[in-house]
Each structure stands twice: as C-alpha cells, then as structure tokens.
Amino acid sequence: MSTIGLFGKLPAHGDFISRHLPSSFISVWDEWLQLAVSGSRELQGDAWLDNYLTSPIWRFALRSGAVNESAWVGILVPSVDSVGRYFPLTIALSLPASTNLFKYVAKKAVVFEALEAAALSTLQEQLDADQLMSLLEGQVAAIQIEASSDLAVYEQGRVVSGGDDDAERYAGLLQHYFKGAASYSVWSASATANSPAATLVADGLPSVFQYGSMLNGYWAE
C-alpha cells in the first residue's frame, strides 16, 4: 500500500513539519535539501531569494535506492515558515521498487496535478499540515496511483514493443538504459516567466549546482 506524506516548511507553522513519511526517507531527504539550499544560497548570493521564490514546482520520481528501498514520486515546492525561514515543502508518495519511473512521470500527470493543487491551496489559504494531509488523502484517493509496469525491451536494435503511445515506449527505452544505474532521480518542471521547461535525470539526488539551476533556470556550464 502506498504511503503519502509531507516534510518541510509551511507558513502556518514556526518550524519543520513532517507527516506520515518514514525516518529512512526524511533523514536522507533533509540532509540533501539542507546542503542544496545552503550551497545554492552561497553560490547565488543576493539573487538567491528571488530565484527561490520564483522557481517552479518540481515533480520528482526517485528510484529505489535514492533515499530508501522504495520508489517515490512527488513534488518540491518553494515555501517558508511563519517566521520567514525559507525551505521547500515536499509531498511524496511511495511506490513499489520495481516501478518504471519514466513511464509514471509520462503517464500519471493526474497524480502530480493533484499534489500540486493541494500544495497551492495550502499556501494560498494558509492551511496547516493536518489540513494539507486531509486535502491530499481526499484528492489522491480519487485517482489511480498504481505503479507503472515495464514494456518488453528486445535487444535487437533496442526495440520496445507495445504500449499506448510514443511516450510509453520512450519510457521503456529509458528504463532499459538506466537499469544498471545504482540510483537515480527524474525531475521535471513546466515553464515559468523566469525559467524554461526542463527535465533532469540526476545520479542519486541533484547536486548543489543542479539544484541551483532548478531555481534559476540556467543550465549552461
């Protein structure tokens, strides 16, 4: 059974909040985000706050091994606590370790849209963590969140057979090519006024430099 939970900062709370996520997720995720936030702030200096506040919502999918034994999908949202300390809000949903993450990202937009709607309502209406959990449980219960299975990949010419459309077949090929990776994460964001749309596949979790680019939309070396 899937677990859905949250971690990070909300304007309705004076410190970090956490709901229904295992410690094995939070310990790795918090350490990564603390380093990413502090490192990107140091790199971007005075521009950091504006970059952070205008950055897009990032959808993510984490392969088993990136944080713990489960696969995870979710969103990372720029947020702040009630005393003005900036730190992202994470909403995450666990999936079986065998999930084809590329296919899930391509075919399950409705899941990410539900998470984003709940997060935006919470920020706009100054809801607290428990109210956000109620929104999440209601919205996610109404949609299918089952894992995406793999298509067959044939070695002759790297052929993917079957599937509903090109997106599903491309996802099958990507899963095939990344199957030997120790761990990876897939990130995607829609275009904003300040950033183009982007998709990132990171080794493990994004580096400080990659996270900085996720904020300001600048990906050049």
Q: What is the mean pLDDT of the segment spanning 23-27? A: 98
pLDDT of residue 153: 46
Residue pLDDT, tens place only, 117-126 = 999 999 999 9
CATH number at residue 44: 3.40.1730.10
pLDDT of residue 151: 46
Distance (Å) of CA 155 to CA 1, 53, 78, 147, 182: 34, 46, 42, 24, 21
- pLDDT-based confidence at residue 138 (cuts at 50, 70, 90): confident
For residue 163, being part of any structural domain is answered with no
The residue that leads in pLDDT, 104 or 179, is: 104
Whether pLDDT at 147 is above 60? no
For residue 172, being part of any structural domain is answered with no
- pLDDT-based confidence at residue 106 (cuts at 50, 70, 90): confident
3-state SS string for the chain: CCCEEEEECCCCCCCCEEECCCHHHHHHHHHHHHHHHHHHHHHHHHHHHHHHHCCCCEEEEECCCCCCCCEEEEEEECCECCCCCECCEEEEEEECCCCCHHHHHHHCHHHHHHHHHHHHHHHHHCCCHHHHHHHHHHHHHCCCCCCCCCCEEECCCCEEECCCCHHHHHHHHHHHHHCCCCCEEEEEECCCCCCCCEEEEEECCCCHHHHHHHHHCCCCC
Whether pLDDT at 175 is above 90? no
For residue 100, being part of any structural domain is answered with yes
- pLDDT-based confidence at residue 155 (cuts at 50, 70, 90): very low
For residue 130, being part of any structural domain is answered with yes
For residue 168, being part of any structural domain is answered with no
Q: What is the mean pLDDT of the segment spanning 57-70? A: 96
Total domains in the chain come to 1
Residue carrying the six token digits 């990564």: 32
The residue that leads in pLDDT, 148 or 117, is: 117
Whether pLDDT at 162 is above 80? no
- pLDDT-based confidence at residue 90 (cuts at 50, 70, 90): very high
Domain residue limits at 43: 4-147+182-216
Mean pLDDT computed over every residue of the chain = 88
For residue 177, being part of any structural domain is answered with no
pLDDT of residue 146: 54
